[in-house]
Amino acid sequence: MRIRPTPLSASLGTAALAAVLLLPLPLTASAAPAQLRNANVANVANVPLLVPASDEADPVARMLKGAATGQNTGAAGVPELLRNATRPDNVLARACRQLNDALPIEIDGETRLRRCQSVPGKHVLFQLELTNYRGPMLDLASFEVNYAAPLQRNICANRDVEILTKLGVSMLFRYMTRKDRGERRIGDVYINGPICSAALR
> 11-15, 79-83, 120-124, 182-186 — which is least confidently predicted?
11-15
Cβ atoms of 201 and 23 within 8 Å: the answer is no
Question: Three-state DSSP class for 64?
Answer: helix
Closest CA to 66 of 111, 14, 101, 114: 14
- pLDDT of residue 4 exceeding 80, the answer is no
Does residue 190 sit within a domain? yes
At 24, the pLDDT band (50, 70, 90 cuts) reads very low
Q: What is the CATH number of the domain that holds 80?
A: 3.30.300.250
pTM: predicted TM-score of the whole model, two decimal places: 0.71
Q: How many helices (H) and strands (E) does the chain have?
A: 8, 5
Give me the domain span that covers residue 146.
56-199
Does residue 108 sit within a domain? yes
Query: For residues 118 and 140, which has the higher predicted lDDT (pLDDT)?
Result: 118
Summarised one tens digit per residue, pLDDT across range 96-132 is 999 999 999 999 988 999 999 999 999 999 999 988 8
